[in-house]
Chain A
Amino acid sequence: MDFNFTEEQSMLRDTLASFLQDKYSFDTRRASVKSASGWRADYWKAFAEELGILGAPFSEDLGGLGGSAIENMIVMEECGKALVIEPYLGTVVIGGGFLKYSGHASATDLIGGIIGGEIITAFAYAEPQGRYNLADLKTTAKKDGSGYVLNGHKAVVLGAPWATHLVVTARTGGSQREASGVSVFLVDKASAGIVTRDYPTVDGQRASEVYFENVSIPADALIGVEGAGLPLIEKVVDEAIAAICAEGVGAMRKMHENTLEYARQRKQFGTAIANFQVLQHRMVDMFINVEQSLSMTYMATLKLDESAHDRAKAVSAAKVQIGRSCKFVGQAAIQIHGGMGMTDELAVGHYFKRATMIEGQFGSVDHHLRRYEHLSIDTAA
């Protein structure tokens, strides 16, 4: 049992943190959000070439730095602190995650493309009717010659406007919510028949509604086993959840810091509002929420390679904690900032917006509480 980071892991954190400190100020980010493209392609290039972080969680066999989910956690926590919008989650954690476990003939090449910054993926899994159910799919992939034809509508595909490829979940068989018959495909976004409607999200990212209209894809677009993709999807989504838990911790940490700082300098009734006990207690509760969230993020991350049951239980428990804490810390941060917290000009509101989206991303508190409850109570002796 050991909770220490290796020297390489600490270096990864320091390198990324100092890059973001220099180049990713609140104003710079705001300009990116408001720009036509909505992101900084040159920063992505810098992540790949200058920092080399896009290879952080891949083994050396795959051309990576020999890390694991712990590296994803480190990167995502720092991304949370700086509110990074570039698609590390969709590309490295999710796209890379699927490829890592796929056994795909070209997995090494494709991962090489991710590490080099040339391949950017977005995860097209959710559908308008499916809420958080990963198996509720109307999108179909019908066998056609040696390949498949895709038809369907994917909802709120984060980072899709910047992506070169989409990771698409679709039915190759089974009925709408059945566990079997689900397959995963890596689809070139330039394929004929893909129509997207791009839009900004509340938290400063970009997303698309993606429509597949008789999109022909080759046989080797299939990731994993045809019709048996759900367990792989659940595994990668659990890894993604652990990663956004870390991002949430980073965002909460900053909201807590900003709130303390503000409360120390804001004066009312002739004294700093930080001297009021009612606010002090609330800020202590914020601190406890951040610490408990960090602990649960560690546990979820360290259990990602355990059995599917233990992994899912740890991840859902963490998501419940982080979801609740994001709400508590975020609302308290805005409240203590008073009217200033309502303005667009302070960073705190922007952290709050990202934290609020994290609350629901890949499943709400209720969703994960239910999942945890089924895994925990039903299997207890």
Chain B
Amino acid sequence: MDLAFAPEDLKFRDEVRAWIEQAYDPDLRRQMAQSKNGYLDKAGQVKWQKLLGEKGWAAVNWPVEYGGPGWTPSQHYIFNMEMSLAGVPTSSPMGLKMVAPVIMAFGSDEQKKKHLPPILTSDIWWCQGYSEPGSGSDLASLQMRAVRDGDHYVLNGSKIWTTHAQWADWMFCLVRTSQEAKPQNGISFLLLEMNTPGITIRPLPTLDGPVEGEQEINQVFFEDVRVPISNRIGEEGMGWTYAKYLLEFERGNAYAPGLMNMLHKVRKIASTEASGQGTSLIQDADFRRKLASLEIKVESLNATELRIFSAMASGTPVGPASSMLKLEGSEAQQAITELTLEAVGNYSAPFIADTWADMRGETNEPRPGPDYAAPAAPTYLNYRKASIYAGSNEIQHNIMAKLILGL
């Protein structure tokens, strides 16, 4: 056992730092500081992800044969940590982290050739068609029908909570291809183009008050949408297996590096904000105690992630321990956004609908309160999603009880 990094790892860290310094330009930084949900707008996202792609760092978790860098666990850790501490945008996960591993594991050669390269270059934006209005935590109860008609499936139904559907070129989608006694059977996994006739998107503005067109989630309606059978992944009726495989990737992230950056931000805010006792808020005993408690929670998660990821090769799923990371990670995210809101004080109240308008030169009106205040409440509100999405935290408990405790 040893925590020390080898000299070549330290050299790698310098390389990552130098690259971030040069690629993560002031415009991106300013935009990111005003993000309400950790993303930029589509143009910003694509710009950033393409920069990563040019460096060969877009898909760091992919196996080498598909364009991954083939890093050691130490390199992954260093990369994650440096990127997170710099506060860079989160790459859109739907293509890179979610559908890509499924295509690699279960897709045909043709599907791999067609879909993986544009994911790597961020030329195609993906969205996820899992939840339905009647199927949330009970995902396997999903009802969207896909009926065979010649060499097509005809889709009718609707998907909901679809992140960035309005920006997406393609969707990966769970559909019901047959009615079986056990709802897990009869589900198939399809890839479809979002410009197929019969698809309509309805924005679902969330509590954080997104600008029109930048909403995070949507409902997507399907009316006689024709999808070639050749767009199916793997076998008909086996979709549930592929869907669960994908979910382990969706949940099995390293959360701690991002959390450390969030802690760094709240510490900075608390050093600026006044306590009302003639000192800065960071000197307030109650506040300090809460901040220290959260730092320790994040350190614990970081140590657990190190333990899990140091034993893993690229491209392998985390397994049911991903539920533990998701539980602990999402709880910490929410707790930090809560503390940030508290730190901002009175100026958490003014609502700035478009926090990027001044950057685009669309307004010169000065904001009430400091710049960091505007995203605090929207971010807090937005992050309530973290314990709901990717399987609610209650569902994660169920999964762990079954798969880890054997109950």
Contacts and interface: CB of A to CB of B under 8 A. Distances in A.
Interface of A: 1-5, 70, 260, 263-264, 274-275, 277, 280-281, 283-285, 287-288, 291-296, 298-299, 301-303, 317, 320-321, 369-370, 372-373, 376-377, 380
Contacts of A281: 394, 397-398, 401
A376 B291 CA distance: 10
Contact of A372 (B5, B296, B400, B401): B296
Given A2-B2, A283-B405, A295-B303, A277 B398 contact: yes
Contacts of B77: 1
B127 to A, nearest CB: 31
Contacts of A294: 307
A323 to B, nearest CB: 11
A44 to B, nearest CB: 28
B296 A295 contact: no
The winner among B9, B73, B289, B304 for most chain A CB atoms within 10 A is: B304
A225 B3 CA distance: 31
Contacts of B282: 377
A280 B303 contact: no
A3 B304 CA distance: 11
Contact of B5 (A1, A277, A293): A1
Contacts of B1: 2-5, 70, 298, 301-302
A2 B310 contact: yes
Contact of A1 (B74, B301, B400, B401): B74
B407 A275 contact: yes
Given A369-B296, A376-B292, A1 B2 contact: yes
Given A2-B1, A280-B398, A283-B401, A296 B299 contact: yes
A317 B299 contact: yes
A264 B327 CA distance: 25
A239 to B, nearest CB: 15
A1 B304 contact: no
Interface string B77-92: 1000000000000000
B296 A280 contact: no
Interface in B264-315: 267, 282, 288-289, 291-293, 295-296, 299-301, 303-304, 306-307, 310-311
B4 interface: yes
Give me the 4 closest cross-chain CB pairs, A-B, nearest first: A295-B303, A373-B292, A280-B401, A295-B304
A188 to B, nearest CB: 37
A1 B292 contact: no
Contact of A288 (B73, B324, B394): B324
A169 B404 CA distance: 47
Contacts of B307: 3, 294-295, 298
B328 interface: yes
A14 to B, nearest CB: 17
- Interface secondary structure of B, over-half rule: helix
Contacts of A275: 407
Contacts of A2: 1-2, 310
10 contacts: A1-B3, A2-B1, A284-B397, A287-B400, A288-B327, A295-B304, A299-B3, A320-B296, A376-B295, A380-B267
Nearest to A303: B3
Contacts of A284: 397, 400-401, 404-405
Given A283-B401, A370-B289, A377-B288, 17 more contacts: A2-B2, A3-B310, A274-B407, A283-B407, A284-B404, A285-B397, A287-B400, A288-B327, A295-B300, A295-B306, A298-B307, A303-B3, A369-B289, A372-B292, A372-B295, A376-B292, A377-B292
Contacts of B9: 1
Contacts of B304: 291-292, 295
A302 B405 CA distance: 29
Contacts of B299: 296, 299, 317
A373 B288 contact: yes
B62 to A, nearest CB: 21
Contacts of B73: 1
Interface in B152-197: none
Contacts of B311: 3
Contacts of B4: 1
Interface in B1-31: 1-5, 9
B330 to A, nearest CB: 13
A274 B4 CA distance: 42
A264 to B, nearest CB: 8
B15 to A, nearest CB: 17
Contacts of B74: 1
Nearest to B396: A284
Given A369-B292, A376-B295, A3 B306 contact: yes
Contacts of A277: 398, 401
Contacts of A376: 292, 295
The winner among A260, A281, A288 for most chain B CB atoms within 10 A is: A288
Contacts of B288: 373, 377
Interface in B372-407: 394, 397-398, 400-401, 404-405, 407
B290 to A, nearest CB: 10
Contacts of A287: 324, 400, 404-405
B10 to A, nearest CB: 12
Given A320-B296, A369-B293, A1 B267 contact: no
A373 B405 contact: no
A299 B282 CA distance: 26
The winner among A275, A277, A373 for most chain B CB atoms within 10 A is: A373
A298 B301 CA distance: 12
Contacts of B306: 1, 3, 295
Nearest to A281: B397
B303 A298 contact: yes
Nearest to A73: B1
Contacts of A263: 407
